[in-house]
Amino acid sequence: MKNVKTALVTGVCRGIGKAIAEELSKEGYHVVGLHKGKDETCELIKSTDSIEIHKVDLNDRSKILKFIELQKDTKFEYQQNSPPLSVTKGWG
């Protein structure tokens, strides 16, 4: 099996995040993309086999933990936070 690099991109359904995900896909990366919006906002990007999309609200700790559990064996070679992540108090 071909050794494919994996990238994690937030804000994957529109704007800069979408553009980065599409470019990484063209460069041969398997992209794991996160979004918190409505599912129909991702329709155009869903047609790409090398981009895997997960609906995860990064302000919801339980959703983040579920995503981490799902991806626990994934090695990410690249990470792009778009838009920048905000830190929620009380996670410690």
Domains of the chain by residue range: 6-80
The residues facing 4 across adjacent strands are none
Q: Judge: domain 6-80, CATH 3.40.50.720.
A: yes
| Sign, Cα dihedral of 12, 13, 14, 20 | positive
pTM of the model: 0.79
Q: How confident is the model at residue 26 (pLDDT cuts 50, 70, 90)?
A: very high
Tokens of 48: 């790409």
Q: Is the pLDDT of residue 90 over 50?
A: no
CA 72 to chain centre: 14
pLDDT of residue 91: 43
pLDDT of residue 2: 65
